Structure 1
């Protein structure tokens, strides 16, 4: 990266333009003649954390058919003016909508192919499926998967291509893929057992000079699934995009995902523009750039260039808001409605219809909604967590149950519940397991997991447990209302993901008493709902004082 790039990129536009003209005026070729300043106009479009949302929702929001219409409009607009467009996905295509999950996200990749994505990096939820499924998805895609920090453990070879080059009217753009190393702790153990996820920041430090110096890449885009943590305060998470920008020189643009932030303006760190577009295809991010450059300015085949962000917006995909019309609530789009592309609708409708028939079977009744809001189930005891834990305890004939808040992905709505409702709450296909522990072992285990706090996927929900944590010490533990006896055996129900050390919980899977029941969590919840229907939401509201963290 040239010194000029770093000195002017964050200055006022007038100073930027002045520097550009000075650069143009000073430039000479090898024979002493002047060189002409060139300008590339290009636009980066991006999405992240799609999580199976290939079809519009009940309000008519989202969906790949409308996204296709919007992207095509922008391409025509930009290309008519001589510019170029890149369309990028920052990962997590998988997991979240039963219609997609039961079809291994095939409709999502069909939609992405039709929209015309240029590249995608791997999100942690791509590893919710066994590796053969992910490699099959790679074959379905008409665009490359990029990830420079995922290796086969045995051969030390990259699983996916690390980066790709795109030629934009003679300007070389390198797109480097990076996936959070937290995948090693938040993905199912069996799905990643032969994979290594290297430190993403260190990986970028190694690769960016290769792209810039060896391959003469003019503009480096890091396509990441690492999370945007303001001021690099990533807490218990692996470092994210802000750390990447601060610690690695030479990255011009970061297109990110994972934390599902709605960045309505670029976050600029170390002269790097950082973008993220919320989740679920709610928005398409649009970043319009100008790149001012001279060919072979240093006489060594390397360009000196200035990158300038001209405009950035998050474009909503038919998102709606309620208004009152004659005293009645009506939902209207917050911006002009985007029509759905007919070809995409025709291609995806068979997948939507097929799944819909399978998923509309009734599962039971619930009198009031049980919220699965992320901040609620990852922040403290919640009624839905209580319900799921009770269901698993009953199925395993256990003395207690523990589940992780990150495994709860949606509300359980009021009224007639369908199989789709249950699968939307628990989409991962986690197996129910149990293990026999002595009171002493159980106390140590619960002390470890109950100490996880904050808005974390590792926050524990319990059934048949009362406890008090004072700092990192467990000072009270009751099972079934009785103090735990250190030598007594207790059966703990737990899902396979958590039992295998997910979210950095202690690994129980090697315990000789460990049993995988073969039942998935969603099936267990569905059976419990049917047996106890109609459910009363009030019966699952956490009792104040049962779980205390001081």
Structure 2
């Protein structure tokens, strides 16, 4: 008996000594903010994943599948594949998710194991993401969801469908797995800013990660005996342009909870060529759209990460795509053609025209961008062409989701136009926020421009682009006194309180809904009352949707991405036999003039 006990003790000793003395390796592949870019980023017509060396597009699930399969084949016991949220929303593929759940099944097929939620997963509401997940589960396997700071509302039934997925463990607050002898805990969180821009996530709440994760990480380290804790964080951070380095939520979180070993970050679309280290916590992010695959190789020794190597693998034309995955994606395109595009007279491959230069949004310097004014002009053209005549159009930088890069040939197709203005869904179930129209007085136009020019100076999602209106300001003047002149259709209007004439504003319904909230947002300092064409206050924005074809029953909604497609198609045809965006759009936004300068 004593001999047996001695042998067991010796075995346990040597097992522990082996765990301490020999480095255990782990390979983590990860993405964030994929945004349904199943066919990559770049001109859609140039994406050719089954042929190498012939295009400049980035990303694409066929290429991603090849890289993931190679890693899994080489070292299946050491490889872990993860995503940090916002895997949905951003291409025509997300349109079909509620009905098919296609992307989640595809993610599982190409190798994803654990994923978390981003703010855009809730764009269509809590019930819709629940339905997407359930539909995908009914059709096959999906990655395991991890959400550690998701809190359900006990008084509301609106999140009950999603809560059933928590109950059946489709969504878990954490997982503990073993890879290559390492005990790994994986947790997930939606950050403070991400939740603030996810209004449709109600009645869910997402408490500040630092307030929730501290106790959880301690439990995982002490009770679950996790060697490594990995956080899938849809919180993000930004580069410090002046002082160098980075700042933001994930770095702050690492300082508050140093026991988190690795933070795979998302939300801010930042690409880290090298890892960031805060204490003993490693933080990385891949950018967006699966243009790069994050690749971590680490060694764990003597109870800690002894070596951490990180690089970004370009997902580009040098990689031959997986044929089976490419076929699956192409079949989904056919489904989208038949189900969603044929009814509005389009096909996925229809060509709008071409561009000889990049049409883009520079989020660091929004004034030095040409996309916003281009979209605003497109809306104006589209509505006038449909027999409407708004006085001016507005477009928010925050709703512009992608550029129109020149690429190799400059050809712009339906999916390219859609990706620029891909947010929202109309009451007609056609993707894209519907265009709407409200009316304000001449003096209210002046007050609105005071607020909007102020927002432009701050930058960010609230930066507004205009068409049909030009504003002259004097930046030396005081609060609400900067706007000196407003011109509509080239003519100055009376901006005094005497002018009660109504002027029409067209924009997507999401943006227009904010005009009525200016009083609340300005603490009562600025009051603007959106009105209908008869001058009555607007109580329901749905009543203000623009009907682009009054000859048909019901409201035929207008969409910004269709406006963009039609506008490009309207330009003169050149020697390339397609319409070409004129060079005048190389210029940046000139709708606001500072008289001081």
Task: State the TM-score, normalized to the length of structure 1.
Answer: 0.76
- Which structure 1 residue ranges, 5 or more long, are not aligned? 1-28, 294-304, 320-332
Instruction: For residue 254 of structure 1, report the CA deviation from its aligned partner.
Output: 0.4
Hey, what does 1:265 align to over in structure 2? 274
- SS of 2:75's partner is helix
C-alpha RMSD of the superposition:
3.9
Hey, what does 2:126 align to over in structure 1? 131
2:367, 2:588 within 8 Å by CA — same for their partners in 1? no
1:226, 1:257 within 8 Å by CA — same for their partners in 2? yes
1:48 aligns with 2:48: no
Alpha-carbon displacement from aligned partner over 1:113-139 (angstroms, at most 9, x marks no partner): 112212111122222333333223323
Instruction: For residue 153 of structure 1, report the CA deviation from its aligned partner.
Output: 4.2
2:24, 2:181 within 8 Å by CA — same for their partners in 1? no
1:498 to 493, 507, 511: 511
CA distance in 2, matches of 1:432, 1:214: 54
1:71 to 68, 71, 80: 68
Hey, what does 2:214 align to over in structure 1? 205
1:345 to 316, 326, 329: 326
Hey, what does 1:465 align to over in structure 2? 470
- SS of 2:205's partner is strand
Instruction: For residue 528 of structure 1, report the CA deviation from its aligned partner.
Output: 4.7
CA distance in 1, matches of 2:412, 2:434: 22
1:219-230 to 2 correspondences below 5 Å: 219-230=228-239
- SS of 2:507's partner is strand
1:521 aligns with 2:526: no
1:403, 1:460 within 8 Å by CA — same for their partners in 2? yes
1:183, 1:197 within 8 Å by CA — same for their partners in 2? no
CA distance in 2, matches of 1:353, 1:393: 32
1:546 aligns with 2:549: no
CA distance in 2, matches of 1:374, 1:261: 14
Hey, what does 2:253 align to over in structure 1? 244
Alpha-carbon displacement from aligned partner over 1:257-276 (angstroms, at most 9, x marks no partner): 22222212210002100111
Task: State the TM-score, normalized to the length of structure 2.
Answer: 0.70
2:86 to 89, 92, 99: 92
CA distance in 2, matches of 1:509, 1:87: 51
1:385 aligns with 2:372: yes
Hey, what does 2:307 align to over in structure 1? 309
2:174, 2:188 within 8 Å by CA — same for their partners in 1? yes
CA distance in 1, matches of 2:355, 2:58: 27
1:131-530 to 2 correspondences below 5 Å: 131-139=126-134, 140=136, 142-153=142-153, 155=155, 160-168=171-179, 171-187=182-198, 189=199, 191-230=200-239, 239-293=248-302, 305-319=303-317, 333=318, 338-355=319-336, 358=341, 359-360=347-348, 362=350, 364-365=352-353, 368-369=356-357, 371-375=359-363, 379-380=366-367, 382-393=369-380, 395=383, 397-412=389-404, 417-428=412-423, 429-452=432-455, 453=457, 456-463=460-467, 464-468=469-473, 470=475, 473-474=479-480, 475-476=482-483, 477-480=485-488, 481-483=491-493, 484-486=495-497, 487-488=499-500, 489-501=502-514, 512-513=537-538, 514=541, 515-517=544-546, 518-529=557-568
CA distance in 2, matches of 1:485, 1:151: 50
Alpha-carbon displacement from aligned partner over 1:316-367 (angstroms, at most 9, x marks no partner): 2235xxxxxxxxxxxxx3xxxx332233233333113444685346575466
Alpha-carbon displacement from aligned partner over 1:134-168 (angstroms, at most 9, x marks no partner): 22332326222222233344548877532222223
CA distance in 2, matches of 1:521, 1:32: 67
Alpha-carbon displacement from aligned partner over 1:62-92 (angstroms, at most 9, x marks no partner): 322232222222233334xxx5221101122
2:440, 2:530 within 8 Å by CA — same for their partners in 1? no
CA distance in 2, matches of 1:186, 1:116: 30
Alpha-carbon displacement from aligned partner over 1:186-210 (angstroms, at most 9, x marks no partner): 34x4x33433233233333343234
1:383, 1:537 within 8 Å by CA — same for their partners in 2? no
Hey, what does 1:3 align to over in structure 2? none
Q: Cα 1:360–1:115, aligned 2, differ >3 Å: closer, same or farther?
A: closer
- SS of 1:197's partner is coil
Instruction: For residue 281 of structure 1, report the CA deviation from its aligned partner.
Output: 1.6
CA distance in 1, matches of 2:241, 2:186: 22
Instruction: For residue 241 of structure 1, report the CA deviation from its aligned partner.
Output: 1.5
Q: Cα 1:61–1:365, aligned 2, differ >3 Å: closer, same or farther?
A: closer
2:190, 2:209 within 8 Å by CA — same for their partners in 1? yes
Deviates more, 1:267-276 or 1:191-200: 191-200
Deviates more, 1:265-274 or 1:521-530: 521-530
1:138, 1:145 within 8 Å by CA — same for their partners in 2? no
CA distance in 2, matches of 1:510, 1:203: 41
- SS of 2:192's partner is coil
1:285, 1:312 within 8 Å by CA — same for their partners in 2? yes
Instruction: For residue 412 of structure 1, report the CA deviation from its aligned partner.
Output: 4.2
CA distance in 2, matches of 1:170, 1:398: 66
CA distance in 1, matches of 2:474, 2:105: 49
Instruction: For residue 397 of structure 1, report the CA deviation from its aligned partner.
Output: 3.5
Q: Cα 1:49–1:367, aligned 2, differ >3 Å: closer, same or farther?
A: closer
Deviates more, 1:101-110 or 1:395-404: 101-110
The number of equivalent residue pairs is 485
Instruction: For residue 509 of structure 1, report the CA deviation from its aligned partner.
Output: 10
Q: Cα 1:405–1:285, aligned 2, differ >3 Å: closer, same or farther?
A: same
Higher strand share: 1
